[in-house]
Amino acid sequence: MSPTLIAFFGFVAAFCTTAAYVPQVVRIWRTRSTKDISLGMFLVMTFGLVFWLIYGFSIGSLPVIVCNGATLVMTATILVLKLRHG
């Protein structure tokens, strides 16, 4: 498989996994309710994404960096809203 095609698959995966959090962020933002959101899950996920981001920079993988950086923004937003409205 060519490096361009591999990168394409990486960016598609990045888009899908990041976009998956958008409806949850929008819902929390609108309702100001986080009672059904697991604090533990978002703490673990946020820390995991930080380490994925470090890994991505270490290996120089743009898809890993973009995916995990954008997803980190989403999960950190949910985590902050959970702590604020929880």
- Where is 16: in which H helix or E strand? helix 3-19
Q: What does 15-38 look like in DSSP terms, one character per residue?
A: HHHHHTTHHHHHHHHHH---TTS-
Which tokens sit at 10?
Answer: 């990486």
CATH code of the domain containing 75: 1.20.1280.290
- In the predicted model, is pLDDT for residue 86 greater than 80? no
Question: Tens digit of pLDDT for each residue in 3-18?
Answer: 999 888 888 888 888 8
**Which residue range(s) make up the domain with 65?**
3-85
Distant-in-sequence, close-in-space partners of 37: CB < 8 Å, separation ≥ 6: 24, 28, 78, 82, 86
Question: Tens digit of pLDDT for each residue in 16-42?
Answer: 888 999 999 999 989 989 988 899 999
Of the CA atoms within 13 Å of residue 45, those in its CB half-sphere come to: 21
Could you give the number of structural domains in the chain?
A: 1
pLDDT value for 38: 92
**Of 69, 56, 21, whose CA–CA distance to 42 is shortest?**
21
